């Protein structure tokens, strides 16, 4: 007989098969780290130069010209490969440099490869050059917190997600004092250049830093990062200079993967609606891409809702010779009705389950909520301008904040020139649930953005949906369709004639594969009444069991599971697209620095096409800026791009809406998203929205 030894835990841990299996480094990570992203052709040359072009034009905002005079006339610079040529060029290109890099804002898959590309290019040009990482985001610049990046450190993060190598933060360099401290850090460290990897706000910061450091000869280069995908740069002729920010593809892919698992789940146990909120602070690009990758039953696109026109209201108003302003843009209530309609239609064909995708920023596109956001932004900003203690410190509790709003509403009655918060606003605001009031009053981020990730958007919407479904159920309009075959089998099994009861129970008996119980039958009591009225049941008798069974099966329970897809996708490992894109962005950054550029954003043109057409370039940041409301006042910022409802990608999703809703008997259209492999040889090797949008030019 085999004698089993009693092993100590420490001995078990030393066994190679065990230590390998539970090592901190999985086989996936090992293979990822060894992946070598392809380099764009220009980077195969020993040296690069910048070809300035006037081909692209920008409509420059006068305020940008005023505030950013030294970088406003920057041009688009295309990176070209070359030999070293003369000695001067060689010396300049390969001189020893100190380059700093900082991550700013939310993490996005691929950031480590920007560092890797920059590091490799800098060391290739001159092994004596140093690359420093500023720690914890812009705070690292303000407070002079850096580490010098080593080969080992860089190698251990290649092709891996997150920003963990140097961390990130959301601080904005928005005061004279912070700007002076940043300038001091950069000069004291003798930095030749600083690379700001960030979203619209961080690239805005980069432009202001570039202006500040222009005469101090520290170059500043931005890199377009954000999973939200809202940095999409076009010139005034709509030529695409940067089709998408990095991180978008990986995050969307991760969301799609998880959501397609939910589709498999709900179509198996057929009892839940999975409500999936996906990140994207304002723009719905992530929701759109996710929809294309996994075909949920319903995907809301915020930008589409803002464009909504209620033609029935307009017609009615026209007949009455008036104008109905509420006919433009969708209200929260109307949206909940649209969702209910889709849920009811699926239930009618026996599908009381499904997958719903809601973009995080959807409320920004809902009329009345947008108004609240703007009003509250103004109120909080005004308060902070006047008083010493900031609004959120002075009024930490919701009740205190509501009290303050009430005081403002009273003031509006007394002072005719005070209109930002009146009694009607206060009444409407008091009508919404406390958790949502709290969300709307939540602190704005350092850049003045409303923090949608902190607001349970899906809860707000689903509460309205649930309430309305109860009404529809009580009116007999929300019912689960009964498969005719099941009905006949159930009745026949107990000896009842299905054809006798069919016309009494259903309003479409013999006409459809799925039978709808008559609207007047909404309970066992009403079922009994109908049978009695039709002379099929005596008053003192019970409803026959099979009829009860059929009725029970038609009663819908609306059960939801809510999910938030954001931080998980943001922390996912980069796809082949993002690995390759970001590595080449890092190489681009070095080329821009080595050729003296500043105030430029590194981009790669033609991302919507195959890799062999990718074209690295530097795009001027200042000319792309415009004025936007932030913290209640207008500020110069980089313009964000939202979903264009005329785009091919949106139109394709729109045209497939009915198909994906699948409110017909039979199969679902769910699509299982492909795995995240580094071969770059699958149909989703780049964002599907890019593929589609490139078809029209
Ligand atoms: P960035 O624009 O900084 O890349 O961040 C985008 C984002 O991921 C949004 O989608 C989300 O609303 C937000 O960050 C969440 O922010 P936080 O990390 O502060 O919770």
Q: What is the 3-state secondary structure (H, E, C) of 218-242?
A: CEEEEEEECCCCCCCEECCCCCEEE
In the prediction, which pLDDT does 3 show? Answer: 53
pLDDT digits (tens, 9 = 90+) for 6-29: 789 999 999 999 998 999 989 889
**Is it the case that residue 444 has pLDDT exceeding 90?**
no
Contact yes or no for 639/224 (Cβ under 8 A): no
Angle at which helices 648-661 and 285-294 cross, to 10°: 50
* Model confidence at 4: pLDDT above 70: no
Residue 125 has pLDDT above 90, yes or no: yes
**pLDDT of res. 445:** 79
- Across 227-340, where does the E strand assignment appear? 233-234, 240-242, 273-278, 298-299
In terms of DSSP bridges, do strands 219-224 and 193-198 run parallel, antiparallel, or are they unpaired?
parallel
Q: Which of 174, 192, 201, 228 is catalytic?
A: 228
Query: Beta strand 560-565 with 273-278: parallel, antiparallel or unpaired?
Result: parallel
**Count of residues in the chain:** 697
Q: Which atom of ligand 1 is nearest to the CA of 445?
A: 19
Contact (CB, 8 A) for 343 and 354: yes
Among residues 305, 281, 276, 309, the alpha carbon closest in space to that of 293 is found at 276
Q: What angle do CA 185, 620, 216 make, to 5 degrees?
A: 30
pLDDT of residue 92: 95
Model confidence pLDDT, tens digit, residues 456-495: 888 889 999 999 999 999 999 999 999 999 999 999 999 9
CA of 269 to the centre of ligand 1 (A): 34
Ligand 1 contact, 169 CB (< 6 A): no
Tokens of 16: 């190679």
User: pLDDT per residue over 26-50, tens digit each?
Assistant: 988 999 999 999 999 999 999 999 9
Q: What is the pLDDT of residue 2?
A: 55
pLDDT above 90 (res 158): yes
Dihedral over Cα of 636, 638, 642, 648: its sign: positive
Please say whether the dihedral angle defined by the alpha carbons of residues 493, 495, 496 and 499, taken in this order, is positive or negative.
positive
CB of 228 sitting under 6 A from ligand 1:
yes
Least confident of 12-21, 96-105, 611-620: 12-21
What confidence tens digit (pLDDT) does each residue in 323-347 have? 776 677 788 888 999 999 999 999 9
Closest C-alpha to ligand 1, atom 20:
453
Q: Residues 115-142: what's their mean pLDDT?
A: 98
What are 77's two structure tokens?
């610079």
Ligand 1: which of 102, 103, 104, 105 to mutate, most ligand atoms within 8 Å of CB? 105
φ and ψ of 354, to 5 deg: 165, -175
Q: pLDDT tens-digit profile of 354-391?
A: 999 999 999 889 888 888 888 898 899 889 989 999 99
Residue 683 has pLDDT above 70, yes or no: yes
Residue 420 is classified by DSSP as: S
Alpha carbon 72 to chain centroid, angstroms: 31
Whether residue 521 contacts residue 515, with contact meaning beta carbons closer than 8 Å, is answered with: no
Report the nearest-CA residue for atom 1 of ligand 1. Answer: 106
Residue 499 CA to residue 491 CA, distance in Å, equals 9
Helix (H), strand (E) at residue 341: helix 332-348
pLDDT-derived band of residue 697, with 50, 70 and 90 as boundaries? low
* 228 a catalytic residue: yes
Instruction: List, in sequence order, every beta strand (DSSP E) within 245-367.
Output: 273-278, 298-299, 354-359
Q: What is the pLDDT of residue 629?
A: 79
Tell me the CA–centroid distance for residue 122 and ligand 1, in Å: 30
For ligand 1, is residue 199 a contact (CB within 6 Å)?
yes
Q: List the residue whose alpha carbon is closest to atom 6 of ligand 1.
A: 106
Tell me the pLDDT of the chain averaged across its residues.
93
3-state SS class at 391: helix
How many CB atoms sit inside 10 A of residue 678's CB? Answer: 18
The stretch 257-286 carries a mean pLDDT of 97
Q: Phi first, then psi: give them for residue 392, nearest 5 degrees.
A: -70, -25
279 within ligand 1 shell (Cβ under 6 A)? yes
Q: Tell me how far CA of residue 17 lies from CA of 22, 24, 149, 412, in angstroms.
A: 9, 14, 34, 74
- Atom number in ligand 1 closest to CA 107: 4
Q: Structure pTM? A: 0.92
Q: What is the pLDDT of residue 373?
A: 86
Q: Is 105 in the pocket of ligand 1 (CB under 6 A)?
A: yes
Predicted confidence at residue 442, as pLDDT, reads 86
Q: What's residue 342's pLDDT? A: 98
Pick from 29-33, 125-129, 413-417: least confident: 413-417
Residues 6+ apart with CB under 8 A from 616: 40, 42, 43, 78, 79, 584, 585, 587, 588, 591, 602, 603, 604, 605
Question: pLDDT confidence of 152, banded at 50, 70, 90?
Answer: very high
- Residue whose Cα lies nearest atom 11 of ligand 1: it is 281
Residue 615 Cβ < 6 Å to ligand 1: no
Average pLDDT over residues 73-91: 93
Q: How far is it, in rounded angstroms, from Cα 564 to Cα 543?
A: 45
pLDDT at 1 over 70: no
For residue 373, what are its two tokens? 């956001």
Residue of 234, 126, 141 lying closest to 183 (CA atoms): 141
Q: Which residue's C-alpha comes closest to atom 10 of ligand 1?
A: 280
Say if residues 445 and 138 touch (Cβ distance below 8 Å). no
When pLDDT is cut at 50, 70 and 90, the band that residue 652 belongs to is very high
Q: What is the pLDDT of residue 364?
A: 87
């Amino acid at each position: 007989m085999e004698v089993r030894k009693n092993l100590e835990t420490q001995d078990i841990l030393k066994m190679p098969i065990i230590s390998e299996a539970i090592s901190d480094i999985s086989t996936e990570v090992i293979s990822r780290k060894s992946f070598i992203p392809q380099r764009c052709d220009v980077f195969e040359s020993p040296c690069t130069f910048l070809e300035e072009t006037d081909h692209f034009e920008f409509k420059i905002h006068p305020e940008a010209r005023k505030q950013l005079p030294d970088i406003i006339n920057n041009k688009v610079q295309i990176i070209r490969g070359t030999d070293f040529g003369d000695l001067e060029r060689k010396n300049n290109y390969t001189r020893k440099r100190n380059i700093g890099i900082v991550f700013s804002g939310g993490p996005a898959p691929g950031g480590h490869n920007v560092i890797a590309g920059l590091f490799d290019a800098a060391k290739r040009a001159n092994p004596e050059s140093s690359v420093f990482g500023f720690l914890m985001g812009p705070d690292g610049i303000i407070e002079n917190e850096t580490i010098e990046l080593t080969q080992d450190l860089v190698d251990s993060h290649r092709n891996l997600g997150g920003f963990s190598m140097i961390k990130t933060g959301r601080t904005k360099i928005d005061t004279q004092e912070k700007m002076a401290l940043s300038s001091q850090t950069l000069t004291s460290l003798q930095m030749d250049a600083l690379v700001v990897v960030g979203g619209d706000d961080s690239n805005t910061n980069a432009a202001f830093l570039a202006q500040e450091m222009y005469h101090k000869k520290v170059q500043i280069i931005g890199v377009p990062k954000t999973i939200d995908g809202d940095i999409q740069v076009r010139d005034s002729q709509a030529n695409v200079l940067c089709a998408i920010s990095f991180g978008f593809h990986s995050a969307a892919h991760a969301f799609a993967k998880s959501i397609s698992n939910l589709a498999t789940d709900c179509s198996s146990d057929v009892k839940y609606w999975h409500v999936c909120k996906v990140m994207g602070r304002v723009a719905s690009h992530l929701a759109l891409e996710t929809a294309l990758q996994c075909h949920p039953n319903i995907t809301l696109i915020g930008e589409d809702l803002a464009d909504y026109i209620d033609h029935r209201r307009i017609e009615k108003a026209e007949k009455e010779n008036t104008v109905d302003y509420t006919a433009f843009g969708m209200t929260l209530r109307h949206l909940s009705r649209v969702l209910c309609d889709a849920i009811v239609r699926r239930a009618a064909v026996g599908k009381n389950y499904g997958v719903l995708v809601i973009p995080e920023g959807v409320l920004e596109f809902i009329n009345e909520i947008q108004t609240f956001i703007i009003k509250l932004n103004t109120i909080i900003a005004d308060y902070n301008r006047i008083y010493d203690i900031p609004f959120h410190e002075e009024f930490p509790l919701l009740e205190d904040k509501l009290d303050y709003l009430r005081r403002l509403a009273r003031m509006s009655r007394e002072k005719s020139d005070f209109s930002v918060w009146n009694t009607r606003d206060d009444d409407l605001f008091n009508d919404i649930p406390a958790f949502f009031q709290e969300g709307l009053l939540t602190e704005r981020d350092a850049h003045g953005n409303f923090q949608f990730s902190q607001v349970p958007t899906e809860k707000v919407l689903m509460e309205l949906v649930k309430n309305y479904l109860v009404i529809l159920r009580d009116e007999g309009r929300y019912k689960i369709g009964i498969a005719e075959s099941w009905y006949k089998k159930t009745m026949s099994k107990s000896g009842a004639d299905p054809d006798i009861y069919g016309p009494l129970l259903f309003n479409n008996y013999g006409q459809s594969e799925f039978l709808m119980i008559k609207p007047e039958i909404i309970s066992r009591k009403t079922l009994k009444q109908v049978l009695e009225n039709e002379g099929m049941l005596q008053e003192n008798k019970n409803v026959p069991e099979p009829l009860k069974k059929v009725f029970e099966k038609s009663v819908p329970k609306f059960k939801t599971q809510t999910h938030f897809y954001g931080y998980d996708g943001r922390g996912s490992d980069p796809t082949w697209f993002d690995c390759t894109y970001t590595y080449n962005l890092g190489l681009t950054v070095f080329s821009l620095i080595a050729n003296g550029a500043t105030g430029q954003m590194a981009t790669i043109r033609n991302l919507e096409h195959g890799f062999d057409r990718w074209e690295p370039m530097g795009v001027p940041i200042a000319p792309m800026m415009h004025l936007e409301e932030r913290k209640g006042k207008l500020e110069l910022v980089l313009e964000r791009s939202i979903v264009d409802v005329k785009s091919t990608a949106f139109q394709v999703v729109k045209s497939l809406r009915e198909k994906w809703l699948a409110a017909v008997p039979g199969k679902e259209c769910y699509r299982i998203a492909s795995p995240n492999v580094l071969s770059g040889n699958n149909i989703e090797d780049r964002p599907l929205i890019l593929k589609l949008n490139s078809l029209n030019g």
